[in-house]
Structure 1
């Protein structure tokens, strides 16, 4: 089926197929939501009164190794877009190539950094060649789903907030032409915050703005920049992200509704970022570095509707639909507001899946990290340490995520100095005995003296690549240069890739696991069984008394746990469980307790209200 006119921006109001149209959008990322729940989340978006779905497309998931593409199962983007069409939702697609999204490297694949001269988000030939190859695979899949060809896609965004980066004045034009030459014919947009609008435009493309607090000056600036064009807040930030070791950010539901009411009454189109945040499962969380490096948490939906600190804070939530798909105060207030801007009655609210607090699970066995080296690929040896991305692994695409163990022989003690070459956090061992941590803040520790030969080990963790700001090109992980002992660079390293992929976790089953009666040698993997009676339900894992590590359930990487918070639980979707026996493995760096606990609500630490803070302090 073909249609005539698509979304047009020829006057102060949008039109769609020649009729007046207002974008009432919400962001839900298919890659942050288990596929079993796609329909549930989109039905709830529609029932809230929204008419448009927006989603990013993460390049690093679709092309995890150079030339290896995935567009099936959880990454079946076409199925997700078709589902939106079946539910009578329009789609604004945001294919990048850079997406930010508080996602590792802003969605760019880490193998790009194997090129020592790489200049991301520019017209550097190494970058544009990779983008062209990726778009050759991606764009034909979505071009057929555009409005004029009978599909739901009414607009496509060019890159993301490039005005805040602005390293190459030809770059946005390159992305525009890359999209159009592959068949994108719908309305093109860019988005920027107020400060980026001056540098983020490209000829013939509608500019939109991102904001949280209402600013008449910012909205008017966009109107003056594009006279006689419709206004769209492409990202109305319904909450804010969290970083490890910081407070849990919340944004008042009343404050959010007040701003949205003001925008809608002024005739502005909106898109809520996020409507439903979901989860950055596995190692996909990113980081921020605007003066200091801070890795972000796995939870992107944050607090659910059952959480409150006290009665005075009952209205403090983040996305209107919680991480596990619950309705929140924000959702209900938003729905009531949007009813006033609809010509027809809203759909009935879909039912909510119940969560369940399973009984605590006993840890039954463990195996040390040192024993798990048998499950890695053949170790890599080099005179100098090699960063993760440049290890000869994964068909010459390097190691993307997880940990790398660097070992070398030392013959004395003294001052071990990282020279700030640890990215991002290293546990240091001498003959498998833990002696300290090296990271951005602590760059020197003392190695005990001895006359004999010993093995120095550094287990280096990639805590998440920066996804926003000027530091994108400096996101190589592992050891990125020499480390010294008494000012002398160490040499002759053996390196083990502990990327903790599903195949690696599966291979751990071939090892001899020790009973918990035997004292574990840390770091270690701990295993237990969760028995589920009846239909599996969503739950949240909590690990009181544990220190730091990663949780796997039936081979699925749920993400990190870390006692520093603010995230105190990990979301475990019911579809990832099965009736009967379920395997739970926890990688723990320092200290394990004998049990794993479950709760039916997420838990977070200290609360910080973003509506009471200036925008710059949040970044």
Structure 2
């Protein structure tokens, strides 16, 4: 036998032993199975009525309430992704604590009478930075995700085995609530590598996931070419009305005549990009389509049932023919049946009414679980203290020197900003050319703002008069790595190539990595005159009682907000999102502290207030280059 043959035989033996060991504690007759065209639960035909919600996008204190709301709407299952980028923020360093305790989330669902579908990826999309991949994968030159690259496969295998350690007791093969699990995610929208998909399937089995597996793809022949696997249940994703549902299942039936019918994602709403319109969909559209599913015994998963919030640095980005880069907003409300603050919407009531007409014999709906925590207004308060970001560099960052500008990943940094510093040489003149900005650059000369470059419009040049000896600072913000499509592997951030002034390329750079994970050492001062440079602003407000609130950022430019140390996320005057959700558990009775990093420098307000409802407004010129 050749060396390759020995390795293949050894791998096959190892896989068989792994599968046997992982299956050892399994029940003789698992509670969930797929038989022909039907899902079977406890030996009876079963229709899955699922809704999607993601544990990291919901403060843990609200998990049980949201799950009760799902049950009261008539759902019998919840679906969640697993967020690799959060669970393994650095190679081999895993975190399943606090808001990342997925096992606790699933146990809570079980206690509330819900089963669970788990989608561990490793790729999950979900409008998440890099599609849920940890950014440190990009530190390896040439690594290709979603491929047979052995470096990627090894990292993904380690992650899946670690997830299995958390979830093993909760699998339906052991009597737990996890009915089935998804292989990869919408691979048919990305590639055609069958070897990779078979490897993804094998890695899940080898990790010990001995529940039924399925694939999920868009509804059409061009998606079916790469995503579904022989012998594995295929479910489909789409939005629209009843006619769209009919045509989608006709396409699936032509491709896969047998097997249960299920919508892996029925898009009951949609997400938002900065600078574009806020999305809403009529409640009756979702209700009538779900009724058609129920009438035709089609299982479904509402994406999303409750979207929640992409706090901090979580949001990803897309691209299109018209726009080379489309960053996602902080809010992931998704026009869901339960809104971002956990409130019941007309869409919820319409869906509950429909589902209530199609319950199983003996089944009843629990009472609606109205939010226990109210949304509150907070009177206007001033932010009177500030510190320039440039002055704060010594306490925020350790400088790194290099001949050429380094990407964020080359600086071992995952999220945030990088400030690139240089001095304009004597022989340089002409336009500033940055090749290229990932994703938004604020250009400063001797500390004074000179302009911005925005990747959304492919901007790389700034027509400024830079004199020799000018200190040039380029503050570059990572606004979220692309999470969908063929450009995943290209998503390194910061300045990815070179910087020129006219024909002169600049060398010998000083880099200031700014992940902004700790702002406690900032030293603020009172400032009476307005400032135009990027700066941190601090203010306080006092509460007699806590509640969810929407922080009104209108009047500010572009930046980030922290409340009592919790990073709410990004704001931007171009909209459509003009408020940031502050969850009640992050507030406290008495004094609360707010810190705002405003990089725009031209804000008309230095105050904030909390509103009882969100505000969505898109600036009329948001999609026009140079009109920011």
What is the TM-score of this pair, normalised by structure 1?
Answer: 0.91
Q: What is the alpha-carbon distance in structure 1 between the residues aligned to residue 310 and residue 106 of structure 2? A: 20
Instruction: Note the C-alpha offset of 1:290.
Output: 2.8
| 8 A contact 1:298–1:559 mirrored in 2 | yes
State whether residues 366 and 520 of structure 1, in contact with CA within 8 Å, keep that contact through their aligned partners in structure 2: no
Q: Higher mean Cα deviation, 181-190 or 343-352?
A: 343-352
| Conservation of the 8 A alpha-carbon contact between 1:415 and 1:444 | no
How far is the alpha carbon of 1:263 from its aligned partner?
A: 2.0
Q: Is the 8 A contact 1:122 1:167 kept in 2?
A: no
1:584 is matched with which residue?
A: 594
Give the Cα–Cα distance (whole angstroms) in 1 for the partners of residues 232 and 519 of structure 2. Answer: 46
Matched, 1:334 2:351: yes
| Equivalent of residue 203 in structure 1, options 210, 230, 248 | 230
Contact 2:431 2:463 in 1 (8 A): yes
1:383-428 Cα deviation digits (max 9, x unpaired):
000000011xxxxxx1111110000111356334435411011111
**Residue 605 (structure 1) aligned with residue 617 (structure 2):** yes
Residue in 2 aligned with 1:515? Answer: 526
Q: 2:70 aligns with which of 28, 31, 45?
A: 45
What's the counterpart of residue 298 of structure 2? 268
d(CA) in 1 for partners of 2:328 and 2:46? 37
- Shift in Å at residue 7 of structure 1? 2.6
Instruction: State the match for 1:423 in structure 2.
Output: 438
Tell me the SS of whatever aligns to 1:359: strand
Superposition deviation, residue 520 in structure 1: 3.1
CA separation of 1:104/1:274 partners in 2, compared to 1, >3 Å: closer, same or farther? same
Return the offset for 1:381.
0.4
Equivalent residue for 1:404?
418
What's the counterpart of residue 314 of structure 1? Answer: none
Cα distance in structure 2, aligned partners of 1:465 and 1:606: 23
C-alpha displacement of 1:2 = 6.4
Report how far residue 505 of structure 1 moved: 1.6
Residue in structure 2 matched with residue 310 of structure 1 by the alignment? none
1:433 to 448, 453, 462: 448
Whether the aligned pair in 2 keeps the contact of 1:121 and 1:167 (CA below 8 Å) is: no
The farther-off stretch of 99-108 and 128-137 is: 128-137
Please name the residue that 1:212 is paired with: 239
Could you say which residue in structure 2 is the equivalent of 1:345? Answer: 364
For 1:82, which of 89, 107, 114 is the aligned residue? 107
Structure-1 separation of matches of 2:194 and 2:440: 36
Deviations 1:545-569 (A, max 9, x none): 1111101001111011111000011
Work out the CA distance in 2 between the residues paired with 1:92 and 1:572.
29
My pick for the range that moved more, 342-351 or 454-463, is 342-351
Counterparts of 1:224-303 in structure 2 under 5 Å?
Answer: 224-291=254-321, 292-302=324-334
For the pair 1:528 / 2:539, whether they are aligned, the reply is: yes
Deviation at 1:129, TM superposition (A): 1.2
2:406 pairs with 1:363: no
Partners of 1:290 and 1:469 within 8 A in 2: no
Q: Provide the rounded CA distance (Å) in 1 between the counterparts of 2:230 and 2:166.
A: 26
Q: CA deviation at 1:604?
A: 0.6
Tell me whether 103-112 or 410-419 shows the greater mean CA deviation.
Answer: 410-419
Structure 2 residue aligned with 1:306: none
RMSD: 1.7
Change (3 A) 1:158 1:2: closer
Give, in whole Å, the separation in 1 of the partners of 2:26 and 2:142.
Answer: 45
Q: Is the 8 A contact 1:48 1:331 kept in 2?
A: yes
**Counterpart of 1:152?**
177
Counterpart Cα distance in 1 of 2:38 and 2:377: 49
Quick one: structure 1 residues 491 and 146, their matched pair in 2 at CA, closer, same or farther if it must change by over 3 Å? same
Cα displacement (A) at 1:11:
2.3
Structure 1 297/81 Cα, relative in aligned 2: closer, same or farther at 3 Å?
same
**1:159–1:175 CA contact under 8 A, matched in 2:** yes
Give, in angstroms, the shift of residue 259 of structure 1. Answer: 1.4
Please list, as runs of the form range in 1=range in 2, the aligned pairs for 1:409-488 lying within 5 A after superposition. 409-412=423-426, 414-440=429-455, 441=457, 442-451=459-468, 453-488=469-504
| Residue aligned with 1:174, SS | helix
Contact 2:532 2:602 (C-alpha < 8 Å) held by counterparts? no
Counting matched residue pairs gives 580
Stretches of structure 2 that go unaligned for 5 or more consecutive residues are 1-24, 621-628
Correspondences of 1:368-383 after superposition (within 5 Å): 368-383=388-403
1:124 Cα shift? 0.4
Unaligned ranges ≥5, structure 1: 303-317, 392-397, 609-619
- SS class of match (1:137): helix
How far residue 528 of structure 1 moved from its aligned partner, in angstroms, is: 0.4
Match of 2:35, SS?
A: coil
Cα distance between partner residues in 2 of 1:197 and 1:44: 34
1:5–1:18 contact (8 Å) kept in structure 2: no
Output the CA distance in 1 between the equivalents of 2:300 and 2:137: 34
User: What CA distance in whole angstroms lies between the structure 1 residues aligned with 2:349 and 2:109?
Assistant: 22
Shifted more, 248-257 versus 6-15: the winner is 6-15
1:500 aligns with 2:516: yes
Structure 1 stretch displaced more, 42-51 or 226-235: 226-235
